[in-house]
């Protein structure tokens, strides 16, 4: 009798275990579809208040990851939480990636705040840029193999996590012989700088470019890429206590001239243009009066490209600049450029190859960075939102 009861109890336990396994499989499958599609994520389990680190199953497989997740928009230092997420199973055309490093960019902050042009479905993992290493690939993956370094082709993948399963089509391979931080910061700022220097004016060695926010990640990339092209840069920064140190640092990476915002409206600009020609191209990340002053110094027929609006003020174009100088006012968003060229992998790969060549030659380096461990993310988020910050926070996994 006791043996019979024990057998019945054992069968019930086995049935319950099988039901739990099927439920978990269904949950993971849905998570895979949403993660690879619209970006939705299921929140995983935690042990108490301590998030779990990545857990490895047999072989190189990873079943869970630690991720920086936000379930509502707001102040990043308040709404971003460290959670454990289950990873979906590996599909035929998907790739298991161990994230190595991921920066905190202004666009990442804006996404969490809910003010960016594109927003993922919530809950979402933060981060649009970073570098990871391929651990496993699906049966039909042809462009990647285990050990490769990869970066996102576009925004929205959620890179602030220790591991993820991505679609092959969303990743681009980068060489492993470039510095880690250069690879982690390759996909946004250098690409933005490269396209703006290439697509709006036919710049030749000896020409000039003027830009505000020159100490930003894009600004530093503009300085270095332009220097490699033999192009002068006039770099405008806001006045600050460490202005001399900042000026020396920008000059060390190739800046031709570093001036304060106030200098744009001073007679010293006439003396500056005795040393270099008036710029054909102006790059605006600020807006407001700063953008108007950049326009004032463009040569006849020049172009101003706006790619940011840090001042949160409209760009005002003087009528005289349009009539008598025939300037062009354009906009640029690297995310849109990537969408427009999504079917032409060659253009993206060619750009990355040229940038990586500059990195290998020592002509392009990562912006000034501070490496922060993932568990110290709140400190990193707060630092990223401070004024006059010239260093980029990089989360290392």
Contacts of 275 (CB under 8 A, 6+ apart): 257
Helix spans in the chain (H) = 2-36, 76-79, 106-113, 180-184, 189-199, 217-229, 243-252, 268-272, 288-296, 319-323, 334-340, 345-360, 377-384
Is 388 one of the catalytic residues? no
Q: Which two tokens stand for residue 122?
A: 């919530």
Catalytic residue among 70, 116, 307, 388: 116
Beta bridge partners of residue 396, listed in sequence order: 101, 373
Give CA torsion, residues 204, 195, 199, 118, to 10 deg.
Answer: -160
Distance CA 273, CA 373 (A): 45
Q: Which DSSP string do the residues of 141-168 spell out, in sequence order?
A: --S--TT-EEEESSS-S--SBSEEEEEG
Interhelix angle 345-360/217-229, nearest 10 degrees: 80
CA-CA distances (angstroms) from residue 131 to 97, 185, 251, 270, 376? Answer: 9, 8, 28, 44, 19
| Catalytic residue annotation | 116
């Amino acid at each position: 009798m006791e043996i019979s009861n024990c057998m019945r109890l054992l069968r019930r336990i086995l049935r319950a275990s099988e039901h739990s396994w099927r439920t978990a499989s269904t949950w993971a499958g849905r998570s895979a579809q949403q993660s690879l599609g619209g970006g939705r994520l299921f929140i995983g389990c935690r042990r108490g208040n301590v998030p779990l680190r990545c857990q490895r199953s047999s072989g190189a497989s990873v079943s869970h990851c630690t991720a920086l997740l936000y379930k509502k928009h707001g102040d990043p230092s308040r709404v971003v939480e460290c959670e454990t997420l289950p990873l979906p199973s590996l599909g035929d055309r998907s790739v298991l990636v161990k994230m190595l490093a991921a920066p905190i960019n202004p666009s990442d902050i804006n996404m969490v705040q809910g003010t960016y042009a594109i927003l993922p479905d919530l809950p979402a993992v933060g981060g649009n840029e970073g570098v990871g290493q391929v651990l496993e690939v699906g049966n039909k993956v042809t462009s990647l193999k285990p050990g490769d370094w990869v970066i996102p082709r576009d925004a929205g993948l959620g890179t602030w996590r220790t591991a993820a399963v991505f679609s092959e089509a969303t990743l681009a391979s980068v060489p492993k012989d470039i510095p880690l931080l250069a690879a982690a910061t390759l996909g946004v700022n250098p690409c933005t700088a490269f396209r703006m220097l290439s697509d709006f004016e036919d710049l030749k060695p000896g020409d000039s470019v003027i830009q505000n926010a020159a100490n930003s990640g894009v600004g530093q990339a503009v300085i270095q890429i332009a220097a490699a092209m033999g192009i002068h840069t006039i770099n405008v920064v806001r006045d600050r206590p460490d202005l001399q140190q900042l000026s020396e640092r920008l000059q060390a990476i190739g800046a031709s001239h570093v001036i304060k915002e106030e200098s744009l409206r001073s007679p010293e600009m006439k003396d500056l243009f005795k040393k270099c020609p008036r710029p054909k191209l102006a790059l605006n990340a600020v807006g407001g009066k700063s953008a108007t002053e950049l326009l004032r110094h463009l040569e006849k027929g020049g172009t101003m490209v706006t790619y940011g609006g840090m001042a949160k003020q409209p760009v005002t174009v003087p009528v005289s600049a349009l009539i008598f100088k025939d300037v062009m006012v354009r906009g640029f968003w690297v995310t849109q450029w990537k969408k427009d060229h999504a079917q032409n992998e060659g253009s993206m790969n060619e750009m990355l190859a040229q940038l990586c060549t500059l990195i290998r030659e020592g002509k392009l380096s990562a912006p000034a960075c501070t490496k922060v461990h993932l568990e110290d993310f709140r400190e990193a988020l707060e630092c990223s939102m401070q004024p006059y910050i010239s260093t980029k926070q990089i989360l290392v996994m």
